[in-house]
Homo-oligomer: A and B are copies of this chain.
Amino acid sequence: MPYVNIKVTREGGPDGKGPSAEQKAEIIAGVTELLVRVLNKSPATTMVVIDEVELTNWGMGGMSVPEFRAKRVGNEESKAPD
């Protein structure tokens, strides 16, 4: 009976305002299947909660995400999403 909490930034998806219902359903199905396969957990009692977090409420590297991305672009370090 696992409990999974997934936090992602509220962005992307079909309208740029966060993952679509289909994407969230795919995440729920995928992480449940993973726990069944690796740990033999019951899917029936596996609970998943997804939190979508505003960009200014998320920090990495001592900076909020908007600052973090602005600085990274300046450094030309990486084009990868985060």
Q: Does A73 have its Cβ within 8 Å of any Cβ on chain B?
A: no
Complex copy number for this chain: 6
CB contacts under 8 Å to B, within A23-82, are: 23-35, 38-53, 56-67, 80-82
Identify which of residues 1-39 in chain A touch chain B, using a CB-to-CB cut-off of 8 Å. 1-9, 12, 19, 21, 23-35, 38-39
Let me know if A64 and B24 touch, CB within 8 A. yes
Q: Could you tell me the distance between the alpha carbons of A65 and B21 in the complex, rounded to whole angstroms?
A: 11
Closest residue of chain B to A28, judged by CB?
B59
Give the most central of A51, A59, A62, A82: most B CB within 10 Å: A59
CA distance A44 to B26 in the complex (A): 21
A-B contact pairs, 24 of them (CB 8 A): A2-B6, A3-B3, A3-B7, A4-B4, A4-B31, A12-B39, A12-B40, A19-B38, A21-B56, A24-B56, A25-B59, A27-B59, A28-B62, A29-B63, A30-B34, A32-B61, A41-B82, A44-B60, A44-B80, A45-B47, A45-B82, A48-B60, A49-B53, A50-B59
